[in-house]
Amino acid sequence: MNIFRILGDVSHLLAIIILLLKIVKSKSCAGISGKSQILFALVFTTRYLDLFTNFISVYNTVMKVVFLVCAYITVYMIYVKFRKTFDSENDSFRLEFLLVPVTGLSFLENHSFTPLEILWTFSIYLESVAILPQLFMISKTGEAETITTHYLFFLGLYRALYIANWVWRYHTENFYDQIAVVSGVVQTIFYCDFFYLYVTKGRQ
Amino acid sequence: AAVVVGKDEL
């Protein structure tokens, strides 16, 4: 495992924990898109089904379980525990606009036409667009709490580091997964506009 | 390049 991959995973974990702590400590999920969090829970669920079929490493298993548990706790916090603080009015992105094309594409373009592989592909495609309801919500309300922008920063950083990881693996291991790489690049592009605002506005 | 399915990644 290379340094980009480790830092990417740490950054991903940090993003998830920042969001969860923000909600728990402020007892509020204002400004957070519940729809994006549902999509991330769905992403982890459909991708980590291999927890039941093959063992890769202790690190791999632990991280998968942590991501899954955190994703479901976050959804629980938004839709159950702090439901009253959830701004459902502005979380109005239509999920079918993402789910329908992503489902279709995962059946058409995958490594092999088997249930687990199609679900894995679905999770990769879905992750690349899962943040859109959150970005849509921010552009609609025109505001985001500082802590929410930190969450998005680490989530975007994780994606950028994974690209560096793939460049590294391509050169050192001849490793290349087209589905993951293309989706990963698409996903990272969505964060570029946010990164620009984070750096320029964040300093004021 | 060899195409390997990257299931070890998160």
Supply the pLDDT for residue A5. 97
The pLDDT, as a whole number, for residue A23 is 97
pLDDT score for A198:
87
Q: How far is B10 from chain A (nearest CA, A)?
A: 7
| The two three-digit tokens of residue A43, written as one number | 């992403």
pLDDT in tens, A106-143: 999 999 999 999 999 999 999 999 999 999 999 999 98
Is the CB of residue A109 less than 8 Å away from at least one CB of chain B?
Answer: no
pLDDT under 50: residue ranges of chain A:
none
Q: Give per-residue burial for A60-88: e unless 16+ CB within 10 Å, then b.
A: beebbeebbebbebbbebbeeebeebbbe
Query: What is the chain A residue with the closest CA to B5?
Result: A177
Q: Return the residue matching tokens 């459902």.
A: A88
List, as ranges, residues 1-10 from B with C-beta within 8 Å of A.
1-10
Distance between CA atoms of residues A99 and A131, nearest Å? 13
